[in-house]
Chain A
């Protein structure tokens, strides 16, 4: 079975400060890891993914994430937060053997204050 934990329901940061949204996972085999963002009353949008290769992956809107196999983590980061980054963020995991079924975390609400 595969699972994802996002330990923080809410993350608050000031505009211009760095932000981190945490994600840990459990999976049998090699993980495919994803971050998605959801703005109010919208569907989820893909931000970035780790499939293989460099542990640091860069995605849309200046976000990046670091894959850490030993800690089974895939934390989302951004060096300088914007008010417009305020949204609901989901981490997801799948493997290459389960027909694309992804397991999503419960989500973390990011609030960036001016």
Chain B
């Protein structure tokens, strides 16, 4: 049981390049989330997927797109990276339809845009 996995762990992009961050969970959770973490700003929700087949914007969606590929996988795409997107990105999952309300987090992807 690996929990939530994310790839890659580190990435350096030039301004304007694109990339996709991958996330997978093996806990059969319905809901998945993408956050970014910046110093002194806590975690900010980028996009979330309450259940397979649905996605919705969070607090800071501009510059990002997501795909809920199946129940296990939820990817985050940066179409044209900007230095303001330098951050640590976390994927999380939970099962809001049961008593498992807490979120389980992946190890994070540290992204630098130059």
Contact = CB atoms under 8 A, between A and B. Distances in A.
User: A and B: partners?
Assistant: yes
Which one of B33, B99, B103, B104 has the greatest number of beta carbons of chain A within 10 Å?
B103
A109 B27 CA distance: 30
Given A100-B48, A104-B43, A44 B101 contact: no
B42 interface: yes
Contact of B4 (A42, A43, A107): A43
Given A43-B4, A43-B90, A90-B42, A99 B101 contact: no
Interface in B51-94: 56, 58, 90, 92, 94
A101 interface: yes
A15 interface: no
A42 B105 CA distance: 9
A70 to B, nearest CB: 23
Interface in B28-43: 31, 33, 35, 40-43
B40 A106 contact: yes
B50 interface: yes
Contacts of A96: 96
Contact of B96 (A43, A44, A100, A105): A100
Interface string A18-45: 0000000000000010101000011111
Interface in B92-110: 92, 94, 96, 99, 101-108
Interface of B: 4, 31, 33, 35, 40-45, 48, 50, 56, 58, 90, 92, 94, 96, 99, 101-108
Interface of A: 9, 32, 34, 36, 41-46, 49, 51, 90, 94, 96, 99-107
18 contacts: A9-B40, A42-B107, A43-B90, A43-B106, A43-B107, A44-B105, A45-B105, A49-B102, A51-B99, A90-B43, A94-B101, A99-B56, A100-B31, A100-B96, A100-B101, A101-B33, A101-B45, A106-B42
